[in-house]
Amino acid sequence: MTDLKQLYDAIVAGDAKTARATTEQALKDGIEPLKLVMDHMAPAMGEVGRRFECNDYFVPELLLSARAMKSAMELLRPLLVASGAQPLARVAIGTVKGDLHDIGKNLVAAMLEGGGFEVIDLGVNVAPEQFVNTVREKNANVVALSALLTTTMPSMKTTIDALNQAGLRQQVKVIIGGAPITQKYADEIGADGYSDNAAEAVSLTKRCLGK
Amino acid sequence: MQALLEGLLGGGPVLTDGAWGTELQARGLQVGEFPDGWNLSHPDKVGEVAAAYVQAGSRVILTNTFGANRLRLGAHGLADKLAEINRRGVEISRQAAGAQARVFASIGPTGKMLLTGEVTEEELRDLFAEQARALAGAGADALVVETMAELEEARIAVGAAHATGLPVVACMVFDAGKNKDRTMTGVTPEQAAEGLIAAGADVIGANCGQGIEGFIPICRRLRAVTDRPLWMKANAGLPQMEEGRVVYRTTPETFAAAGPELVAAGANFIGGCCGTNPDYIRALKARLG
């Protein structure tokens, strides 16, 4: 029988190889995919977030853990889909128009994926219309906007305005982040949430969705 | 090479410059437009910014070449203009500097992480060497590797800059962790000092990320572990939005009031980063004499 503590430990330690191997073994042993996610992997990512918050972990550790989670999820996702299990929600993420910086956006995307969300990564320099189209065509429940530059922050507001005009604002939650972003700015432009780091983005998204 | 630094620092702390991007925006640079491209399309405006800092009292000015590496230029379709953009950047600053200031050419990060495998060490080595050579060949007095978050990327850039034979300044952004004393990837001031000096930096320091108050403890910690000159360029506080416009709340006077304490903490080169302009340099000059 697989020691599932190993799966938890591997994700916390950012050991993708062990995370994947343990998951493989657990599936062979007949353990339910959803149980693996909920009882072992999600708590591991929770621990990673906690360590990040108390400065034990920084971005490199966060990335490694998100990758370990992802490598295990690759095995589980087809099974979860086949069993009819839904992702927590579908997130359309991108760096806003005019801004080509993607480190923060990629981190948040990795953390959200690790946290059980389906992530549609639209890349950088994403026009408001692209976000609108993705919400409309792919039924995204969350729009996550990133900006590094103070000069491109206003594109966040433009994107929210575009969602409003398209009549889609009510059906999505908009979360924002990036070096110059503050809670005050999030409030001003009518975003549903802001977090100041990638680890917190997961709990923020859940909170916004009431999960 | 050391003679240049000794000559500059002989008379006490040296004023550097403030932000360039926001100054270019005040002169018409559009949101999302690539500032470095202006070295070719609007050299007069870039020259105005450089001259404004020299007039304000900067004894070291940088160049409008922060993003002029192959990766960033490529993202803007300007990769074939790399040599020209870097060369013009140095020439424009040189012309404004005249005999009053030295030109330290800016080398910024690629915006890609080694950690995630988006870029390899070899690619970084090549592209920083390419930019460093272009800047050195254009006659820069020194090179400044700035706004770095990842120590390995910074070390590679410093190594490439050092290979040109010019003095090298290297500074990182400390804006993470509870006390804002780590870089995004968790690097402490002590680790930065050790790594950057080992890679060949002659001057080390911090820029961007937070207001000037936060720079004082970082400066102190760097001073505790090195005798090298220290380079400090703080933001004018953190950006806030006001009627859709970004504003920085720290006034030139408040900013400059922290100058003496920063000098006491060991700073040798002092200037500003995001949100600062020539008024901040003038105010610093008035304070530091």
Confidence of residue A159 (pLDDT cuts 50, 70, 90): very high
Answer whether residue B2 is part of any domain.
no
Q: Per-block average pLDDT, block size 10, for chain B (289 residues)? A: 87 96 90 91 98 98 98 95 98 98 98 88 98 98 97 98 98 94 96 98 96 97 98 89 76 97 98 95 95
The three-point CA angle B212-A183-A57 to 5° equals 70
Number of neighbours of residue A1 by Cβ within 10 angstroms = 8
pLDDT for A119 equals 93
Confidence of residue A1 (pLDDT cuts 50, 70, 90): low
Check CB contact under 8 Å for B111 and A184.
no
**B213-267 confidence digits (pLDDT tens):** 999 999 999 999 999 999 999 999 877 777 667 778 899 999 999 999 999 999 9
Alpha-carbon dihedral sign for residues A110, A63, A201, A164: negative
Spatial separation of the C-alpha atoms in residues B274 and A153, rounded to whole Å: 15
Q: Hey, do A5-82 and A90-209 end up sharing a CATH topology, with the first three levels equal?
A: no
Check CB contact under 8 Å for B177 and A58.
yes
Answer whether residue B1 is part of any domain.
no
Measured between beta carbons, which residues in chain A are less than 8 angstroms from residue B177? 55, 58
Check CB contact under 8 Å for B186 and A59.
yes
- Nearest residue of B to residue A153, measured between CA atoms: B246
Answer whether residue B246 is part of any domain.
yes
Q: Specify the number of domains making up chain B.
A: 1
Higher pLDDT, B60 or A62: B60
Check CB contact under 8 Å for B241 and A55.
no
Here the tokens at position B166 are 């010019």
pLDDT for A2 equals 74
pLDDT for A199 equals 83
**How many Å lie between the alpha carbon of B72 and the closest alpha carbon of chain A?**
9
pLDDT for B149 equals 95
Measured between beta carbons, which residues in chain B are less than 8 angstroms from residue A185? 240-241
CATH number of the domain encompassing residue B232: 3.20.20.330
Q: Which CATH superfamily is domain A90-209 in?
A: Cobalamin-binding domain (3.40.50.280)
The yes-or-no verdict on residue A125 having pLDDT over 90 is yes
Answer whether residue B61 is part of any domain.
yes
Confidence of residue A87 (pLDDT cuts 50, 70, 90): confident
Backbone angles phi, psi at B20, to 5 degrees: -110, -40
- Nearest residue of A to residue B238, measured between CA atoms: A180
pLDDT for B119 equals 94
Check CB contact under 8 Å for B113 and A103.
yes
Check CB contact under 8 Å for A58 and B75.
no
Check CB contact under 8 Å for B240 and A185.
yes
**Within 13 Å, how many C-alpha atoms sit on residue B287's CB side?**
23
Measured between beta carbons, which residues in chain B are less than 8 angstroms from residue A180? 238-239, 246
Q: Which of A24, A92, A27, A53 is nearest to A203 (CA)?
A: A53
Answer whether residue B3 is part of any domain.
no
> Which residues, in sequence order, are bridge partners of residue B230?
B204
Measured between beta carbons, which residues in chain B are less than 8 angstroms from residue A106? 116
Q: Which of A2, A39, A43 is nearest to A23 (CA)?
A: A2
Answer whether residue B281 is part of any domain.
yes
pTM for this entry: 0.89
Check CB contact under 8 Å for A179 and B246.
no
Q: Helix A5-13 crosses helix A59-82 at what angle (to 10 degrees)?
A: 140
Task: Count interface pairs A-B at CB distance under 8 A.
Answer: 71
Answer whether residue B155 is part of any domain.
yes
pLDDT for B221 equals 98
Q: Which of B21, B116, B274 sits opposite A106 (nearest CB)?
A: B116
Spatial separation of the C-alpha atoms in residues B1 and B6, rounded to whole Å: 9
**B114-128 confidence digits (pLDDT tens):** 987 889 999 999 999
The yes-or-no verdict on residue A39 having pLDDT over 80 is yes
Q: Where are the domains of chain A?
A: 5-82, 90-209
Domain residue limits at B194: 13-288
Q: Which CATH superfamily is domain A5-82 in?
A: Methionine synthase domain (1.10.1240.10)
